Amino acid sequence: YKWETIKEFEDIRFEYCEGVGKITINRPRYRNAFTPQTVQEMIEAMDHCRYDENIGVVILTGEGDKAFCSGGDQNVKGVGGYVGKDGVPRLNVLDLQKKIRSLPKPVVAMVNGFAIGGGHVLHVVCDLSIASENAIFGQTGPKVGSFDGGFGSSYLARHVGQKKAREIWFLCKQYSAQEACEMGMVNKVVPFEELENETMEWCKIMLERSPLALRMVKAGLNAELDGQAGIQELAGNATLLYYFTEEAQEGKKAFLEKRKPDFSKYPKFP
């Protein structure tokens, strides 16, 4: 695949090819651990993917064949969060998780190695996970003085069930790609050399599907779990569609023409 750089960043690569936006965490020296800056760059790239009409699907991955992402960079973990150049401690990966979830396009985790700790949670919040055979999955929080009780726990439990989710978090063991697939948190496992091809095949199929339908299904699946925020997303999409109707147009026109709206001709469906 011929990937073209969309924008240069320090900690990530952000590229485009055939309708797909690819975000690659590029800190292989630290097993692609993230700092607040890495996360900020990913947030910016995700926003770009949201607004770029040429992008229909997003891939999130890590550089190299060792790690997808090993979570927060322990070298910059301070008191109250991970400390960036501005000296402020942050847990901004939580904002990134919400971005991935509310992006109205599919986000695919292409898991090329260790998905550990906060890096494991990133694959959990993606819509689909395709893994290479060498990928290894696990949480480490209770071993290294952390935990993610948000999506990293409750959404994980939706994939693997409560007992397994508790096992994953309480014991902090590592699991093979095959085990992760059998548990239901990975969609497909392929040899490392085939990872990008396989992932792109999945992306191409989704790019042939109706983007509005994908958007609505993602919002619907989110809504069941996300409370008012989930309903807001789903209802926002309903509003978007409603604005396409003459009925909604009549309301706006009447206001601008300073007359009473006439909704009488619009059907009251059974």
Give contact residues for ligand 1HA (rule: CB under 6 A).
30-31, 33, 67, 70-75, 91, 93-94, 114, 116-118, 140-141, 144, 146, 148
For residue 139, say whether it is annotated as part of any ligand binding site. Answer: yes
Q: Return the residue matching tokens 């910059």.
A: 76
Nearer to ligand 1HA, 67 or 160 (CB): 67
For residue 31, say whether it is annotated as part of any ligand binding site. Answer: yes
Nearer to ligand 1HA, 114 or 202 (CB): 114
Separation CA 223–CA 227 (nearest Å): 6
Closest distance of CB 157 from ligand 1HA, Å = 16
Nearer to ligand 1HA, 56 or 113 (CB): 113
Closest distance of CB 7 from ligand 1HA, Å = 24
String of DSSP letters for 6-66: EEE-SSEEEEEETTEEEEEE--GGGTT-B-HHHHHHHHHHHHHHHH-TT--EEEEEESTTT
Alpha-carbon torsion 133, 131, 63, 38, what sign? negative
For residue 161, say whether it is annotated as part of any ligand binding site. Answer: no
Closest distance of CB 234 from ligand 1HA, Å = 26
For residue 258, say whether it is annotated as part of any ligand binding site. Answer: yes
24-35 b/e (C-beta count within 10 Å ≥ 16 → b): bbbbeebbbbbb
Nearer to ligand 1HA, 129 or 237 (CB): 129
Closest distance of CB 23 from ligand 1HA, Å = 17
- Rounded to 10 deg, the angle between the 211-242 and 93-102 helix axes is 90
Q: Tell me the β-bridge partners of 175.
A: 137
> Is 90 in a helix, a strand, or coil?
strand
For residue 118, say whether it is annotated as part of any ligand binding site. Answer: yes
Residue ranges for the binding site?
31, 70-74, 82, 114-118, 139-141, 146, 243, 258
